[in-house]
Amino acid sequence: MITRMKISAAQRTSKPSRITNGLEITDHYFQIPLDHNAPNNEKIDVFAREVARYDAGPKLPWMIFFQGGPGGESPRISSSAGWCGEILKTHRLLLLDQRGTGLSSQVMPQTLARRGNPSQQAEYLTHFRADSIVRDAESIRKSLIGDEKWTGIGQSYGGFCLFSYLSFHPEGLSGVIITGGVACIKQHIKDNYRLTYKKVIDKNHLYFSRYPEDSKTIKEIVTHIQNNEIFLPSGVRLTDRRFQQLGMFFGASGGLETMHFLIEKAFITGTNGRELSEYFLAEVEQASCFENNPIFTIMHESIYAEGYATQWAAESLRTEFPQFNVNAESFYFTGEMVSPLMLEDHKSLKPLKEVAEILAQKSDWPPLYNLSQLAKNTVPISAISYYDDMYVPIEWSEQTAQHVGNFRIWVTNEWEHNGIGVDGPKIISRLLNQLNEPAPYGYRG
């Protein structure tokens, strides 16, 4: 049994509101314990931006947004366009920079270096998972609105955070909206990656069936990278494995086209003959860069871990899928599979290799979910999942939906994982309406 922890209101400092393009925007800074189990010890800063329509008035209900990632900051918006605009028709929106991101005690190699040796840095990072993030949110809720509840909305990993919220602090939530992040709450990390590897293989098949001419060019690119010292604009050598990570494109709507348009500009004729163009190398670096988000690389697998060591699960499973051997006859791109080799391929991340290894071998991760609490959940949940999602497989989404109480799930192949960025108003409007519909899954009361 998991005991709910008492949460006190965070100490808050707010800047004067400003009006931008019809929006009233207020910046809030909170002092919150690094370790919620030791509330009198070290504090960290957590930032959140409140956004409302200028003419909304003070009585609108609140909604808090959890960004994907892990390690991604909340969106910076300056207009009422897109999915945010749909929410602002009926809610006051709080855009949370999850701890370690944006303006919230940012985790970067420079800041981690101040923590001491690798063991001390790793210990610090253990407090940057969903279990801590949702306690931050509860502390912020009490500071901003007291006993009033709010609706949570989460994109991708943000949805994972909301399942932790529902597990440990459902009393703070009046409803939950999840866009492409229905977590695999019952599966071991290796089960998840075995399935996502298969999803990525399917995406490669689709890509090469649509653009068969790219196969030859891609093999030429890989051979050129392997046989020459190719440097990215930052001065870091481009490896075949880093190039392979561009398969991240495949998880987004239009991602196959993004890849094709990049590949068709790969080569140029220079003084030494046919070579990779500087344009291509700059685009590759930007698309495969994790310098601005070390949390993603060194803590990505920990978002699945409960009481076991992840031990670089995705990398350990690669041998089960020979399609991803960089020297295979056909070159296949990977997806959201982190690897210790990524610490070699990014200059500023190299000092974090030992920290990442400590976290990968950590076996005493605390729980992220309370399955018993989720089974009897009464907070209305409205979610969208995508049939073709290569990041959050539909198989696990449906399994979770059948376990969690008061759950409404809309499953479609109209969009990919980034659906709200493509057709946000349509998706958000339907999910808001679903919150009031009878739940087909889970607890009936």
Catalytically annotated residues: 156, 364, 417
User: What is the C-alpha separation between 293 and 70, in angstroms, rounded?
Assistant: 9
Which secondary-structure segment (H or E) carries 311? Answer: none
List the beta bridge partners of residue 76.
Answer: none
- The DSSP symbol for 177 reads E
First CA to last CA across the chain, in angstroms? 21
Q: Please, what is the Cα angle at 178 between 173 and 184, to 5 degrees?
A: 105
Structure token pair of residue 62: 């609140």
Contacts of 310 (CB under 8 A, 6+ apart): 189, 301, 302, 304, 360
The sign one gets for the Cα dihedral 117, 121, 124, 127 is negative
Per the omega criterion (within 30 degrees of 0), is the bond before 70 cis?
yes
CA–CA distance, 130 with 222 (Å, rounded to integer) = 38
Give the alpha-carbon dihedral of 206, 184, 339, 359, to 10 degrees: 170
Token pair for 390 = 């290569």
CB 320 within 8 A of CB 195: no
CA distance 159 to 95: 14
